[in-house]
Structure 1
Amino acid sequence: MAVAYDPQNIFARILRGDIPAHKIFEDDVALAIMDIMPRAEGHVLVIPKAPARGLLDVDAEILARLIKRVQHIARAAKEAFQADGLTLQQFNESAGGQVIFHLHFHILPRWDGVALRPPGSMADNEKLKEQAEKIRAVLGDFKD
């Protein structure tokens, strides 16, 4: 049985402007923001503007457009933080590790020998602002 999308989830509220966020990128398809509980320096979230609970219920055309933006933002995050690599995470339903039930992709810059931080620690707001600016500085224009 499918569970309905909740329009009061935190990402829906951020998309409506009810809650502030450090924006990296925004267009008609997606919004990219800094994760307020980052597990790595430069941890970014990319969320679709379309209401979708997870990967299995998003429209395939929207997903195709969304993943292009994920790739574009991932390239910028890797460059901005001079990372050795990236981890891309996407969780579905509680059993799959999903906590916020609006489709989203985690982009985590990674460095050799540096483990991810444990989940759950809030970041300093000024540091998030600086990291967002750093990524935006190398992001460049997106071509769909």
Structure 2
Amino acid sequence: MNAPEPAADCLFCKIVAGDIPAEIVHATDTVVAFRDVNPQAPTHVLVVPRSHYETAADVAHWEPSAAADLVIAAAAVAVKEGLGEGYRLVFNTGPAGGQVVPHAHLHVLGGRALGWPPG
């Protein structure tokens, strides 16, 4: 399958295209990482595939190398952000799972101790 077309009404597709400004902290041919506008930790960066998929499972199914690229980019972000003490990676899936934007995205959270359970 070829990568899907960007969704015309997708906030993250518009950020990837440069149509909506964001503070980009890392970018590759397959992913873009930018600061969350509603941070839940001192460091809160979203890593999104350039291709539009609604969930992480969709990315893994249709473009498995891009799923790996999300995690590789998240690790690069953690290094750039000085999160050597540790960080959390989170995929929210579906409205009941806390996914607000229906474009797969990986949260990189850190900069403070992150308790368990989250939330």
Superposed pair shares fold, TM > 0.5: yes
Partner of 1:104: 105
Partner of 1:35: 36
Decide whether aligned partners of structure 1 residues 70 and 50 sit closer, same or farther in structure 2, where only a CA change above 3 A counts.
Answer: same
Q: Distance in 1 between matches of 2:80 and 2:54?
A: 30
Partner of 1:123: none
- Once the two structures are TM-superposed, the CA of residue 41 in structure 1 deviates from its matched residue by 1.5
* Residue 87 of structure 2 is aligned to residue 86 of structure 1: yes
Show CA shifts across 1:66-118 (max 9, x none).
43343343354256334521111101111221110000000001433x66xxx
Structure 1 or 2: more strand by fraction: 2
Q: Percent identity?
A: 30
Equivalent pairs, count: 111
Q: Distance in 2 between matches of 1:63 and 1:35?
A: 24
TM-score of the two chains, using structure 1 as the length reference: 0.64
Decide whether aligned partners of structure 1 residues 51 and 82 sit closer, same or farther in structure 2, where only a CA change above 3 A counts.
Answer: closer
Q: Give unpaired runs (5+ residues) of structure 2.
A: 1-5
Q: Distance in 2 between matches of 1:18 and 1:66?
A: 24
- Once the two structures are TM-superposed, the CA of residue 23 in structure 1 deviates from its matched residue by 0.8
Tell me if structure 2 keeps the 8 A contact 1:85–1:109: yes
Decide whether aligned partners of structure 1 residues 94 and 27 sit closer, same or farther in structure 2, where only a CA change above 3 A counts.
Answer: same
Decide whether aligned partners of structure 1 residues 27 and 53 sit closer, same or farther in structure 2, where only a CA change above 3 A counts.
Answer: same
Q: Give unpaired runs (5+ residues) of structure 1.
A: 120-144
Structural RMSD (CA): 2.6
